[in-house]
Amino acid sequence: MADADALRETGAPALPASAGSGSAPPPVAAPRNDSVMSLVDHLGELRTRLFRSILAVAVGSIVGFYFAVPIRNFLIAPLPGGTVQVLGIGDAFAIQLRISLIVGIILAMPVLLYQLWAFIAPGLTPAEQKAVRPWIPMALVFFALGVGIAYLVLPYAVRFLLSFTDEVFRAQPAAGPYFDFVTTMFLAFGLVMEFPILLVGLSRVGILSSQRLTASRRFVILGIAIFAAVATPGGDLVSPFVLGGTMYLLFELTVLFIRRSGR
């Protein structure tokens, strides 16, 4: 008792009650790293990002549904006479929904790109985030450029395909196949224009380099040719040629840009 009083007077820290009994001290819990997300946290984050993306597309589709008729007439303009046939009783409504959905995706693209970046960014280092972040707005610009190229190509593709019609094969396009052709072309060209953004992003995080891309040029050309033939509907020669040529030009420009950046 006197020893305890002496320790208290000198200010020395008192020993825990169990120290003198010979028992082991209680384990100290390791500090929790809140920056590391568990699998459940990742799945929850993915669900949130998907919900916001779907909501943005739904809002954009409402706007697209309101303007579907003038957009429909605008897309039909390259056809002779500016009309198409509706074969099924519900085709007109289904096509209007399809136009609304495509417009919704295009209008929601800024939100979609942001949600994708917000999901990927936590897995990157601060230096990688700083290197990739400026290219996210450029992805939107490239997507809009691809949609614009698709619209410029559309009249030539339609003219080429209809050049094989005559008095026996009369040109009476059906609405369903025509809008399948148009919407697929617009999305294909828009998404293909994200090709250089992807390559630059991979080079910024150290996955790709200009030397590796140059060494793989033959395989890239083969892949571009196959993708251009599959992604473009209609079977015309104009669409895959323009799409493949655009992809190859973007590839070479991207390799040159990556090389000049020292990677």
Domain assignments of the chain as residue spans, ordered by start: 38-260
Cα–Cα distance measured from residue 177 to residue 80, given in angstroms and rounded to the nearest whole number? 16
Whole-prediction pTM value? 0.63
pLDDT (mean) for 19-38: 48
Distance of CA 232 to the CA centre of its chain: 19
Asked if residue 224 lies in contact with residue 248, where contact means CB atoms within 8 angstroms, the answer is yes
| 221 — pLDDT class (breaks 50, 70, 90) | confident
pLDDT at 33: 42
Asked if residue 132 lies in contact with residue 199, where contact means CB atoms within 8 angstroms, the answer is no
Cα–Cα distance measured from residue 248 to residue 263, given in angstroms and rounded to the nearest whole number? 20
**Per-residue pLDDT tens for 117-145?**
788 777 777 776 777 777 777 778 888 88
Cα–Cα distance measured from residue 86 to residue 177, given in angstroms and rounded to the nearest whole number? 10
Burial environment of residue 160 by CB neighbours within 10 A (0 to 12, 13 to 18, 19 or more)? middle
DSSP E strands, the chain: none
Residue spans of alpha helices (H) in the chain: 2-10, 39-66, 68-76, 91-107, 109-120, 126-132, 135-162, 175-192, 195-204, 210-215, 217-231, 238-260
7-16, 66-75, 223-232 — most confident range:
66-75
